[in-house]
Amino acid sequence: MTPEQLITFATVAEHGNISHAAQALHLSQPAVSGQLKLLQEAFGEPLYQRAGRGVRLTAAGEQLLAHAERLRDTFRQAQALREAMRGLERGTLRIGASTTPASYLLPYLIADFHARYPDVSVSTSNGNTAEIVAALGSVDIALIEGPPGQELPLGTGVTPWREDEIVAIVPSSHPLAGDEAQTLESLGGYPLVLRESGSGVRQIVERAFARSGMAMRVAMEIAGVEGVKEAVRAGMGIGFVSAMSIRHEDGVLRRLRITPQPLVRRFSILMPHAATPSRAAARFMELCVGQPKEG
């Protein structure tokens, strides 16, 4: 049994798939399978079983996983410390971002970062807020909408970031389109289009209606900002999106600000291993907190 075999085992368990783990480890699939075989031989019993295209841990594998994950996390922290001591002539930066910052802020931030550090390879992953928080183990820094809302991995730093307003959107032909300020009571009289469960926007809208004592007439649930906008264009109901997402609209949709209390939220930056971030992650954080707002 070797540390490399345990790290490989933890990565396979994380991805649930040998080929995906091989990509994450920058190894060939046969090399990963070979390490798993040697590890199983060292223990003398199966640690995992094939399950469709993936793998499922046995009871013995589940017991081993806790030890393997601690070793992998320690190894990652040592890597982060090494990168913190080196320059940015080369390197990688893995960024996770929830829907709104991924679509409307991240492209500008990455362009700025690339201009400063052209030899650093940047990769991104996106999803809703809950999905990005759940995937913190595979990124160096994450941008999310609102507070994390669940337990974070040990050592994760949370930095409050920019403010963002949630607005209602309607087609230009909608009865409410003529007045750009509306109360929740007036909006609640119409069918609503909501984002999927786990969305930061949806959580804010649901809390606002709950505080007001208003019931919501949910006509449709749909994933993604663009999905909400298309559903509203199709006449399915009133949608709720970040004001950033409609700043370049062509006039088909109208924005309605919510009064008397606008729905305002704050984005957060999450930094796994905040005590010893990679140099690239630290520089990207500095860029995020120092960059002025986009118009």
Name the token pair of 236: 């399915």
pLDDT of 295 reads 38
Q: CA 129 to CA 136: how far, in whole Å?
A: 11
What are the boundaries of each domain within the chain? 3-84, 91-157+274-290, 163-265
Q: CA 49 to CA 56: how far, in whole Å?
A: 5
Helices and strands in the chain: count of H runs, count of E runs? 11, 12
- Fold of domain 163-265: D-Maltodextrin-Binding Protein; domain 2 (3.40.190)
C-alpha count within 13 angstroms, C-beta hemisphere, residue 179: 9
- Fold of domain 3-84: Arc Repressor Mutant, subunit A (1.10.10)
- 163-265 shares the fold of 91-157+274-290: yes
Name the token pair of 209: 């209606």
Give the confidence band of 86 by pLDDT, cuts at 50, 70, 90.
Answer: low
| Mean pLDDT of all residues belonging to the chain | 89
pLDDT of 269 reads 96
What are the distances in angstroms from CA 187 to CA 170, 171, 196?
10, 13, 19
Q: Which DSSP letter does residue 224 get? A: S
> How confident is the model over 59-83, as pLDDT tens digits?
999 999 999 999 998 988 887 777 6
Question: What's the CATH superfamily of 91-157+274-290?
Answer: Periplasmic binding protein-like II (3.40.190.10)
pLDDT of 85 reads 57
pLDDT of 293 reads 47
End-to-end CA distance of the chain: 56
Reply yes or no on whether the pLDDT at 262 is more than 90.
Answer: yes
Reply yes or no on whether the pLDDT at 208 is more than 70.
Answer: yes
Amino acid at 268: S
Reply yes or no on whether the pLDDT at 226 is more than 80.
Answer: yes
pLDDT of 147 reads 72
SS3 state at 163:
strand
> How confident is the model over 98-147, as pLDDT tens digits?
988 998 999 999 999 999 988 888 999 998 888 899 899 899 999 998 77
